[in-house]
Amino acid sequence: MSKIPRSFRLLEELENGEKGFGPESCSYGLTDADDNTMTNWNGTILGPPHSNHENRIYSLAIECGPNYPDEPPKVKFISKINLPCVDQTSGEVVAKNFHTLRDWKRSYTMQTVLLDLRKDMATATNKKLPQPEEGSTF
Amino acid sequence: MASLPKRIIKETERLVTDPVPGITAEPHDDNLRYFQVTIEGPAGSPYEEGLFQLELYLPDDYPMEAPKVRFLTKIYHPNIDRLGRICLDILKTNWSPALQIRTVLLSVQALLASPNPNDPLANDVAEDWIKNEQGAKQTAREWTQRYAKK
Amino acid sequence: MGPTKIKQKRSTSTTNEYLDSITTPSKPDNSCLISPNGKAKDSTSLDNVGDAQVSDESEFEIEDLLSSSDEFVYDEDGIDDDAQVMLSHPIEEKEQKHQKEGNMPDLDYTVMTMQDIFENMLRRVDHLQPIFNIPREDILLLMQHYDWNEERLLENWTEKMDELLVEIGVTQDTGSTPHVSVATNETTPQGKTTESSKRGVKFRENFTCLICCEEKNTETFSLECGHEFCIDCYRHYIEDKLHSGNIITCMNCSLALKNYDIDNVMGHESSKKLMASSIKSFIQSHNKNYKWCPYADCGCIIHLRDTSTLAEYTRLHYSPFVKCNNDHRFCFSCGFEVHAPADCNVTNAWIKKARKESENLNWVVSHTKECPKCGANIEKDGGCNHMKCFGCKYEFCWICDGEWAPHGKDYYQCVMYNNEDNPKKSRDANLAKYMKKYTFYYRIFNEHELSAKLDWKLGQTIESKVRELQEQMDISWIEGQFLPDSIRILNESRTALKWSFPVSYYSDQSHNLTKIFVDNQSLLSKAVEDLSELLQIKDPIEIMRRKADFYNMSGFVENRKFALMECGRELLCRGICKPMD
């Protein structure tokens, strides 16, 4: 397999996101449709059921740097959330505390990150964590 | 990385030994399927005097699958969108394995010379082009001056 | 007779599996295979219980012979009518008869296969040949290009014959130039001699293919245009295109490969794949009239000529159920399994909801549960919901965990959702009330789904049971048919019972008719469980002794089913049942 360059990879991800492939529980798109460097993205995660996140919609900011997808994106929650892997002052997902970013593979996509974060919210210990008021932001 | 198919090696060689006027294409050292491309705006078009940067990638299945091409330089054109994606039949349904990098880039150059607003990718630009061709061409010239200056 | 066996085994199925099983109908309905004399609508009579003696297979053979005869009727209206003439099957007539019983307009459909459609196309090509006076292969290309629309083809043919032949790549456009040759300075393909310009596969030494740029001793292929490339590249190229259904052209110009060229390069019958893809896209673009049988690995296509009748079905809350040659029954409108008494709206709303909730709920619906009394693990291995624990001998109802005794008497009480006193110990005690209601219905629905599957498995063994009767009791095959008939009725009734729960879920609970509907559900549930128990009997002597019970019970079940379906339809017609999210 040859290495698909960053831009064509991001265009593929963009098209998959626009066509609505993948599960309904997560979505993402370009923050600025004019940004042809395709660096800044926004994502949403629908809180998993049977957890304190149920029916909440979380907004995130994703930054795909110049070395994406060789390097993982920077991911930051905009909506306030109480999760062990999220820095409680900045909302940033701390890579060393979140396996998907820590053990990043080139085949991972933004969707992988969002879905894995959603899974993380639903783990036995995390689903019961008290959550800040809905609608508050970092 | 698997070894590069002979077809790609030959095409790359020929792009160097027998370059197409107004077009350059050089592979990146670390990815020989990934080309840095420049196209000069065709004379007589609103893109005249402009030098446009593009990128081109040959996917695994090339030449059975078309190359992927994108404008890096901002351009005001009804068949090229804000992210630089190009609407060109030979890059999609009309691709043939007998086509090659140079023919693709020549076709892109030809698209600059004759835009096709009836098969648009950038809808707002196409609308402008149909309603007010002179104004649209003026905008295209201004963008060329602003973003594609040699 | 006796309660279902209990095992110390654990197996689970998830809500998603369940979803798969309702969107692609699961096997239980295959049980019709045993007795192909299934009815389209229910019948109140007992007449059909013993009348499945004549194997439909023999009828099929005769019919098949008829349809494959060379007789060909051409009709101006095109394919639809031709297909109608050639492919009518006895099933259809039976189906129609029952539609009429329900005072419904005829559902005039035929069952076809890809092969049928393709052969039909070939006949049409034969028919066109004297008009066009060009080779059949070329007409096939024209038809393929026109998406098998003969009328449009004929129209354009008279207007611009020569243009058309260029457009589809039969003849070369002298004005156009082929693509610039690859990677060399030569502008003409290698070896463009008179000899090599012949169409076909050749062997060449030290051939440089302009596609892969490799030089080798190889087979090559070219059309009359002389654009010759190595066979490996051509194979790769054609393989990618066989699924598109479109005409495949030379890699370097617009000249078309004909089916024999494709077979020549790719090997025997590869062009059939291309034709199949083309016909698939034809079916896709005519999907109002053509529907694939949704059962896995079933290649049948139902062709409904006149879709105007469908509106009448919808208006009266009937569903246009059809049956394919493999006895798979499904709804022509929505493609799901037979879902009466629910109509398509209820069905779609229910399935949509199940899909949504499975995302939300994601609880595991288990094949196993613990005995409500002693806690031993219990697995269900028959459809019957009357359970008896091997350990403590406690008899209970699989659905509500309650004691069995009251179920056996008047009627099933566990079908009605009771707001105050939820019969299930809810696994999610803090779920909203509506969720509880849904969970309750979902669970019953799912239990009947599972029971239906188990009954279907039971049905698989029925032929050997009949044989056993023949051998041990010395009775005729015909006489033994009450067993498969009973199984079929059991399966159909369980399916109806299953789909009655979405109807009650969406019905106004306070309305009197809803209460009557629930009573009907109870009666059918009870009857179905009784019949299911009866079918657990293994001893041939006992089976024959109770033959009358089989007749009576299955007749009763059929009656109850019909009553439930009519009652459900009334709920829909009167707007008491309204599906919503």
Minimum mean pLDDT range among A75-79, A103-107, C342-346: C342-346
Burial C155-180 (b: 16+ CB within 10 A, else e): ebbeeeeeebbbbbbbebeeeeebbb
Q: What is the CATH number of the domain that holds A44?
A: 3.10.110.10
Examine the fold and report which residue of C265, C282, C299 is the final residue of a domain before the chain moves on.
Answer: C282
Longest pairwise C-alpha distance within chain A = 47
Whether A135 is covered by a domain: the verdict is no
Q: What pLDDT is attached to residue C92? A: 39
Whether C526 is covered by a domain: the verdict is yes
C446 and C554 fall within a common domain: yes
C463 and C553 fall within a common domain: yes
Whether A134 is covered by a domain: the verdict is no
Q: What pLDDT is attached to residue C390? A: 63
Whether C337 is covered by a domain: the verdict is no
Whether C115 is covered by a domain: the verdict is yes
Q: Which residue has better confidence, C174 or C146?
A: C146
> What is the rounded average pLDDT for all residues in chain B?
92
DSSP assignment of C8-32 equals S---EEEHHHHHHHHHTT-GGGGGG
The residue range of the domain holding C105 is: 2-133
- Asked if A50 is an interface residue toward chain C (Cβ–Cβ < 8 A), one would say yes
Phi, psi for residue B53 in degrees, rounded to 5: -90, 135
Whether C159 is covered by a domain: the verdict is no
Q: Which residue has better confidence, A65 or C47?
A: A65
Whether C448 is covered by a domain: the verdict is yes
CB atoms within 10 A of CB C442: 24
pLDDT (tens digit per residue) in A42-70 = 999 988 888 899 888 999 999 999 999 99
pLDDT higher than 90, residue A40: yes
C403 and C542 fall within a common domain: yes
C104 and C202 fall within a common domain: no
Q: What pLDDT is attached to residue C191? A: 43
Q: What pLDDT is attached to residue C541? A: 86
pLDDT (tens digit per residue) in C511-533 = 999 999 999 999 999 999 999 88
Minimum mean pLDDT range among B90-94, B117-121, C255-259: B117-121
The residue range of the domain holding A48 is: 6-122
Flag if A3 and B84 touch (Cβ within 8 Å).
Answer: no
pLDDT higher than 70, residue C12: no
Evaluated on CA atoms A13, A19, A24, A26, the torsion sign reads positive
Strand segments, DSSP code E, in chain A are 26-30, 40-46, 57-63, 74-77
Give the Cα separation of A75 and A63 in Å (integer).
Answer: 6
pLDDT (tens digit per residue) in C448-487 = 888 888 888 887 788 788 888 888 888 888 888 888 899 9
Integer angstrom CA distances of residue B94 from C335, C459, C485: 35, 54, 58
C445 and C565 fall within a common domain: yes
Phi, psi for residue C14 in degrees, rounded to 5: -95, 165
C412 and C557 fall within a common domain: yes
CA-based nearest distance C290→chain A, Å: 27
Q: How many domains does chain C have?
A: 3
pLDDT higher than 60, residue C4: no
pLDDT higher than 80, residue C32: no
Q: What pLDDT is attached to residue C172? A: 77
Examine the fold and report which residue of C229, C260, C282 is the final residue of a domain before the chain moves on.
Answer: C282
B108, B110, B114, B117: CA torsion to nearest 10: -20
Q: What pLDDT is attached to residue A19? A: 73
Structure tokens at A30: 């370009």
pLDDT higher than 60, residue C279: yes
Q: What pLDDT is attached to residue C10? A: 39
Give the Cα separation of C89 and C33 in Å (integer).
Answer: 16
Give the Cα separation of C25 and C331 in Å (integer).
Answer: 11
Whether C338 is covered by a domain: the verdict is no
pLDDT (tens digit per residue) in C168-217 = 888 876 655 555 444 444 444 444 444 445 789 999 999 999 999 999 99
DSSP classification of residue C106: P
Average pLDDT over residues B62-67: 94
Percentage of the residues of chain A whose pLDDT score is greater than 70: 97
Average pLDDT over residues C101-112: 73
Chains with ≥3 CB–CB distances under 8 Å to A: B, C
- Nearest residue of C to residue B103 by CA position? C180
Q: What pLDDT is attached to residue C335? A: 86
Whether A10 is covered by a domain: the verdict is yes
Looking at beta carbons, which residues of chain B come within 8 Å of C210? 98
Examine the fold and report which residue of C99, C133, C167 is the final residue of a domain before the chain moves on.
Answer: C133
Average pLDDT over residues C125-152: 90
Q: What is the CATH number of the domain that holds C260?
A: 3.30.40.10
Whether A75 is covered by a domain: the verdict is yes
Residue type, A137: T
Whether C313 is covered by a domain: the verdict is no
The catalytic residues of B are 87
CB atoms within 10 A of CB C341: 28
Chains with ≥3 CB–CB distances under 8 Å to C: A, B
Question: What angle, rounded to 10 degrees, do the helices at C136-145 and C259-266 form?
Answer: 100
C220 and C369 fall within a common domain: no
SS3 content of chain B, % helix, strand, coil (to 5): 35, 20, 45
> Are the beta carbons of C313 and C4 closer than 8 angstroms?
no
Flag if C185 and B18 touch (Cβ within 8 Å).
Answer: yes
Average pLDDT over residues A78-84: 94
> Are the beta carbons of C167 and C273 closer than 8 angstroms?
no
Whether A61 is covered by a domain: the verdict is yes
Whether C317 is covered by a domain: the verdict is no
pLDDT higher than 60, residue C146: yes
Residue C302 β-bridge partners? C111, C291
Q: How many domains does chain A have?
A: 1
> Are the beta carbons of A51 and A36 closer than 8 angstroms?
no
